[in-house]
Structure 1
Amino acid sequence: MQRLHLHLLSDSTGETLEMIAKAALAQFDNAEISRHFWPMVRSRQHLDRIVPDLAASPGLVLYTLVNDDTRARLEEKCRQLGLPTVDALDAVTTALESQLGQEAHGRPGRQHLMDDAYFERVDAIQYTIAHDDGIAHEDWEQADILLAGVSRSSKTPTSIYLANRGYKVANIPLVVESPPPQALYGLRHPMVVGLTTAPERLVQVRRNRLLSLNEGTATDYVDGERVREELKFARRMFADNGWPVIDVTRRSIEETAAAVIRLLEARRKRGGLHKPSEKPI
């Protein structure tokens, strides 16, 4: 099976870019794609923070950046790293300019209506990025959803996908030797959802991750018995706290997100909680 790191960089929410990538990937079989999603990239400084991740996981870079300076910076850095880049909208925009006899405005995210739902999605994305991997637990009460699970159980990509739907999502890795902050057990507004997976699948995902980082695989991180203990520890925590659990073993990120949304909608019907101005993508 071929493996590819696919980096998606956008100066807006990234919805358009995700749809283009998804449509194109549907044409290929037997490929393992690791998606790296970078929304709201609107400055050289933000881009420079991403470059080390591009270098650590080399692959194909797709982007929708209308700012000439930011785009030139990305292309320059990718040339230095030997990474191919594709402007996902450039050919279409150029053709339209020719046919319409006018230049494109070059405004980030112009294809999205600047309504309340748009700004709510932007706010959700910013919140979710700032609360990835257990960061800033003091702000978890502001979240709509908190995803908990062991390392590599698809917490981050699911969080980003949900954020694009307008949900503020925090996530936390569960580590046997490091108990989560006490704040996790007293949350009232967010719905805490546990993510679990089959141990064999998790070992394979972790091995692939280590290989992509050019690291050895002879560690407890990919030891079968150790992984089973981690998953057992997480499931016990989910059960003790009455949190709903989703098995992501055979689910795509989209399917996992849809299951989370269904759980949240059911909870809101029971409790009358606030619903963000979500729009389908």
Structure 2
Amino acid sequence: MDDKKIVYIVSDSVGETAEFVVKAVATQFNGGSFETSRYPYVNCLEDVDHLMAMIDPSSSIIAYTIVIPSLKAYLDRRAQEEGVVAIDLLSPLMEAFMKKFNTEPRYEPKLMRKLDDDYFRRIEAVEFAVKYDDGRDPRGLLKADIVLIGVSRTSKTPLSMYLAHKRYKVANVPLVPEINPPEELFQISRHKCVGLVISPDKLNLIRKDRLKNLGLRTDANYASMERILQELDYAEKIMKRIGCPIINVSNKAIEETADAILDILKKGRSSL
């Protein structure tokens, strides 16, 4: 029986990239009789020595993705000393990047994992913002990083989505005089709740435009000044009851308001 052929997949991170490349190559040999053994999180010289003690040079290959120059150099030297074939999967392409684009790599391990984690946190936050938009499920208020409250057309939804792309889980609740706010709104910390207010004239114009775009009459009660003043007065009472910070969004862009919200959140945490 032939000796077992092993490809050791070595990485200073999880090793998924190296494993994917090795499997892609193995398919070109119909899978062969190769085995793979992943050796992740190599971050010191002792890890390399331990790896070398495990390997049979006559039937093994090392395929590695190590970006720390000193560790890579040590692995290359030890592999040469032991007569083990060691293939660097990253350096040729990194060198091409450096030469062609005249830039230097960071030589920092686990960056791909960090990017993946960041991506999935952002997706999770966006899904959260959609699920708990417009007060749909008050249970989301207890799970949120930030809770936005205010009358209709104070940019609660676009702000929620903008902040979600910064990986914050945001829920928002419309304040309407005829509907009591959910009890959960009074159970959360006032430091993570932000009230959004707007000038009556500005809100009047926004609501008229909204009705016009919907093909409705602009003199509807929704856009009347009397109704707007009633709603704003009600919202202010709720915000005072909660004791949350308040931002006037009348002349602010979404980005500007979001920065103000994050600043408030940071100050609130530091005061706890």
TM-score tier after normalising by the smaller chain length: 0.5 to 0.7
Counterpart of 1:255, as a letter, is E
2:152 and 2:141 map into 1 onto residues whose CA distance is 19
Aligned to 1:142: 143
Deviation at 1:113, TM superposition (A): 7.0
Contact 1:127 1:168 in 2 (8 A): yes
Amino acid at match of 2:196: L
Residue of structure 2 in register with 1:177 after alignment: 178
C-alpha separation in 2, matches of 1:190 and 1:160: 20
Query: Which consecutive unaligned segments of at least 5 residues does structure 2 have?
Result: 1-112
Q: Percent identity?
A: 41
Relative contact order (alpha carbons < 8 A, sep ≥ 6): 1 or 2 greater? Answer: 1
Match for 1:168: what amino acid?
A: K
**Per-residue CA shift, 1:59-118, capped at 9, x if unaligned?**
xxxxxxxxxxxxxxxxxxxxxxxxxxxxxxxxxxxxxxxxxxxxxxxxxxxxx9743222
User: What is the one-letter code of the residue matched to 1:225?
Assistant: E
TM-score (norm 1): 0.55
Q: CA RMSD in A?
A: 1.9
What is aligned with 1:186?
Answer: 187
Residue 131 (1) aligns with residue 118 (2): no
Structure 1 residue aligned with 2:226: 225
Give the equivalent residue in structure 2 for 1:71: none
Shift in alpha-carbon separation, 1:231–1:212, aligned structure 2, 3 A: same
Name stretches of at least 5 consecutive residues in structure 1 with no aligned partner.
Answer: 1-111, 272-281
Rounded Cα–Cα distance in structure 1 between residues aligned with 2:221 and 2:263: 35
Quote the offset at 1:249 in angstroms. 0.3
**Quick one: distance in 2 between partners of 1:142 and 1:185?**
14
Q: How does 1:140-219 map to 2 (within 5 A)?
A: 140-188=141-189, 191-219=192-220
Does 2:257 align with 1:256?
yes
Paired AA for residue 121 in structure 2: E
| Alpha-carbon offset, residue 190 of structure 1 | 7.1
- Alpha-carbon deviation of 1:221? 0.5
Other-structure match for 2:237: 236
- Decide whether aligned partners of structure 1 residues 126 and 191 sit closer, same or farther in structure 2, where only a CA change above 3 A counts: same
Contact 2:190/2:244 (8 A) holds in 1: no
Instruction: With the length of structure 2 as denominator, give the TM-score of the two structures.
Output: 0.57
Corresponding residue number in structure 1 for 2:271: 270
Give the length in aligned residue pairs. Answer: 161
Q: What is the deviation of 1:259?
A: 0.3
Alignment of 1:14-25 (within 5 A): none
Shift, 1:174, TM fit: 0.4
- SS at structure 1 position matched to 2:271: helix
Is the contact made by 1:144 and 1:191 (CA closer than 8 Å) also made in structure 2?
yes
Letter aligned with residue 194 of structure 1: G
Given that 1:141 and 1:190 are in contact with CA atoms closer than 8 Å, whether structure 2 keeps it comes out as no
- Aligned equivalents of 2:163, 2:117: Cα separation in 1: 17
The residue number in structure 1 matching 2:27 is none
Alignment map for 1:103-118 (pairs within 5 Å): 114-118=115-119
Secondary structure in 2 matching 1:172: strand
2:235 and 2:137 map into 1 onto residues whose CA distance is 21
- Opposite residue 230 of structure 1, the aligned amino acid is E
